[in-house]
Structure 1
Amino acid sequence: MGKLNRRALFLLHGWFSLPIWILFSFICITGTIAVFSHEFTWLTNSNARADNPADLPAKPIPELIEIVQREIPESNISRVFILESYLVSAVSFSTPDKPNALAYINPYTGVIQEINQGITFITFMRSLHGWLLFPWHHSYSWGYYLVSAMSIVVLGALITGLLIYKRFWHAFTRPRIRWNKGTRIMLGDLHRLGGVWSIWFLLVMGVTGGWYLTQALLWHNEVEVWQHPDPAPLGDLPQSKGERPDFISPEQALEIARNNLPDVRTTLFSYPEHNRDYYSISGQGSNPFYDNYSSKIFINPWNGSIAQTRTPETMNTLQTLTHIADPLHYGTIAGLVTKTIWFFFGLVLSGMSISGFLIWSKRTLKPAKSKTAITDSRRPEVLPPATPDTTPLETFR
């Protein structure tokens, strides 16, 4: 009975991975690259680097906006992204001939180093890993479902693998790799060793992936995790028959945000999209387990009143999961240190998906071929019938 259960677990473990192993391996590899997408951008695109040889302070967001408005007079600015200190700041804008563009500004020198009108490497890798570049239909993407469903594969393979591998904890104290016992045994040892040392990583990927799957279902059913503020009251809009009145300045909005969220580092500044919309200013506080947009404030652009404030302290469970999933999934918790750890274990997981297929093929395909060969060797030979031009004796030769 024990042998039967073990065989059933092994088959179940294989089926959790093998039918979709190419897709799973691809998702693992792209996710591993996505962990270092910002660093790869710095490495491959010199215009994305924020060199600061004179050790200058970073320019404030209003000054970055002024630079774009001065250099590109027709620009209609929508957002400003503040990235890592070694990367440029990105100002999103549009003009009559550039409907969707990003200005890469060195935040220390104020120089516009590039105008990007296509998809960035960071966005490309996150999209390729997150939803395989499948199209979005209003609030859902089948690619997003496919990728997030891999969380079931990860957790299923982890549970069945631990049930198969008896006394797996010995791999922590007495790791064993038999290099001279053949390819199958060596791959099996590497697969088990990688799996045991990656238990925590597999759990993190499985749980965060499970949240992404839940989030996809919420989006698809139009369930709002956050209650967005109501549009600005009509009475707040100034009445004018002449020129359009101006909003309060970005500098004023940012000052209001700083006064209300003094410990938050601003990472995203967004203009109102219409007259009854708000300035939205997002940032990250002192807790590294929350993402760069976990704190957010909505400011009325006409009178500076605060429509809504979001902070980790006021979040419910779903809201908290929304903002801690990415740092845990991509390893941005402690910057380059945790990114390096996540990148390494991402490589291990990618290797395990490939080695798992090789082990399965050697255990399953090779015996199947051997069985076929044995059957063929025992099969009686069928001789062709004699023809009028040959005798039976010539046929047997």
Structure 2
Amino acid sequence: MKISQKLWFQLHGWCSLPVWLIFTAVCLTGTIAVLSHELTWLFNENARALNPQNLPAKPVAELVAAVQQAEPTAAVTSVMVLEPYLVTAVLFTTETMPAAIAYVNPYTGVVQEINPGINFITFMRSLHGWLLFPWQHSYSVGYYLVSAMSLLMLGALITGLIIYKRFWQSFTAPKLRLHQGKKTVLADLHRLAGVWSLWFLLLMSLTGLWYLVQAVLWHNEVEFSYEVAPLSSLYVPAPVADGDALQTVPAMIPLAQAVARAQQFLPELKPAFVAMPEHPRDYYRISGYGDSIWFDQYSYNVWINPWTGEVADTRVPAQMGALETLMSVADPLHYGTIGGLWTKAIWFAFGLLVSGMAITGFMIWGSRTIRGAAGREARERVETAMTAPQQIPTLSRTTDSSAGASQ
């Protein structure tokens, strides 16, 4: 059965119009999230890692020590090493601040700001990722809503290519008619944005589709990422007597020793995230990136025994299964971090283009809807005018006969 052009156009519209507001919000927030680090650097001078003396970056352990000196009761949970022009984020908790972030200059070791709540980067990623819907039982309704947009984007992409005949001509001879009315300008802009964003739309659709699959796997508690089993209690040092029946637990190895051991064992590892042990059977986890630009900044992992300093386990991209590989490459492709600032700028530009395409598409649909309603009203007026003359003579004859009878 051959599908008409009109039906394809209706399908194209229905791929985005029912959830147009959510779709546009996801596009815009994702576009901002791509440059959330750079926007933070631009608007918050405390987030800038100024280094006028060209000093080398300090070890992570020294930055943690600086935070503990500034906040003596701080229990540091993790450290995030960001871009070279940004501060290092040290996450910690205190009795008064359950989730705080310290901005530490990685070159001078100065604590430039302590943020007691959510920051702009986390807010934008959360707003884009799951619309700030709460997480419960390993799933979030918002995460499903956002990732399901990939199906609509893919549907709009396919139907748009079917509707727009010989779309490839827009690459060699782009057409933008600026003097033929608002409708023509909007239609040309929408088509041009769609054609030039084909690769970007396909990439966002496929990575978004993976996020949808990932949500289903999380929701059903399917394990697909590698985790190390906790230390056996046999290997955790027992408390020792310290006079008057007091018992103390031996101290864990210093953080500096754990990081040095991880880099010694895995020389290509460039630390980007360090997690402290959460309990006596937990490990130091040092995550980072290596030689491949396609994997995210947490794809190289080393687990260090916090009591002995031995390497408990490692994980690198070559050891990953199919689903774990997809999880590691999806974010760099989705957020454009594969080539640093330059690729993020390209992703940002095309994100704006897709957001504009969603807006112009809605404007085109709105103008068609208004014209359609106006056309129906005009037809109704014509039909009323055509039927009215047939009623006038009848009324006149009735009036005349009534008048004659009265005489």
| Structure 1 residue 183 displacement after superposition | 1.2
Output the CA distance in 2 between the equivalents of 1:342 and 1:248: 42
1:263-304 Cα distance to aligned partner (Å, 9 max, x none): 111011111000001110000111111111111111111112
309-318 or 234-243: bigger deviation: 234-243
Runs of 4+ in 1 over 4 A off after TM superposition: 380-383
Structure 2's unaligned 5+ residue stretches are 242-246, 396-401
| Structure 1 residue 71 displacement after superposition | 2.3
SS in 1 for 2:99: strand
Task: Give 1:179's aligned amino acid.
Answer: L
1:131-188 Cα distance to aligned partner (Å, 9 max, x none): 0000111300000000000000110000011111111111111111111111111111
| Structure 1 residue 17 displacement after superposition | 1.2
The equivalent residue for 2:320 is 315
Output the CA distance in 2 between the equivalents of 1:252 and 1:290: 26
- The yes-or-no answer on 1:287 pairing with 2:286 is no
The equivalent residue for 2:262 is 257
The equivalent residue for 1:228 is 227
The equivalent residue for 2:207 is 208
Q: Could you tell me the TM-score, scaled by structure 1's length? A: 0.93
Output the CA distance in 2 between the equivalents of 1:327 and 1:280: 21
The equivalent residue for 2:37 is 38
Structure 1 segment 150-169 matched on structure 2, within 5 A? 150-169=149-168
1:193-234 Cα distance to aligned partner (Å, 9 max, x none): 111111100010000000000000011001111242111012
Q: 2:348 is matched with which residue: 325, 343, 350?
A: 343
The equivalent residue for 2:244 is none
The equivalent residue for 1:389 is none
Output the CA distance in 1 between the equivalents of 2:302 and 2:10: 52
Q: 2:281 is matched with which residue: 276, 283, 293?
A: 276
Task: Give 2:252's aligned amino acid.
Answer: F
| Structure 1 residue 305 displacement after superposition | 2.5
- The yes-or-no answer on 1:97 pairing with 2:80 is no
The equivalent residue for 1:388 is none
Output the CA distance in 2 between the equivalents of 1:227 and 1:292: 16
Output the CA distance in 1 between the equivalents of 2:97 and 2:84: 27
1:31-68 Cα distance to aligned partner (Å, 9 max, x none): 11111100010111111111111111111011111112
Output the CA distance in 2 between the equivalents of 1:90 and 1:331: 21
305-314 or 261-270: bigger deviation: 305-314
Output the CA distance in 2 between the equivalents of 1:151 and 1:335: 25
Output the CA distance in 1 between the equivalents of 2:55 and 2:129: 37
Task: Give 1:89's aligned amino acid.
Answer: T
- 1:236–1:303 contact (8 Å) kept in structure 2: no
- The yes-or-no answer on 1:246 pairing with 2:251 is yes
SS in 1 for 2:78: strand
1:350-373 Cα distance to aligned partner (Å, 9 max, x none): 011011111122223312222222
- 2:237–2:249 contact (8 Å) kept in structure 1: no
SS in 2 for 1:378: helix
Task: Give 1:93's aligned amino acid.
Answer: F
Output the CA distance in 1 between the equivalents of 2:383 and 2:4: 33
Task: Give 2:99's aligned amino acid.
Answer: N
> In the comparison of the two structures, how many residue pairs are matched?
385
Output the CA distance in 2 between the equivalents of 1:32 and 1:294: 24
Structure 1 segment 43-54 matched on structure 2, within 5 A? 43-54=42-53
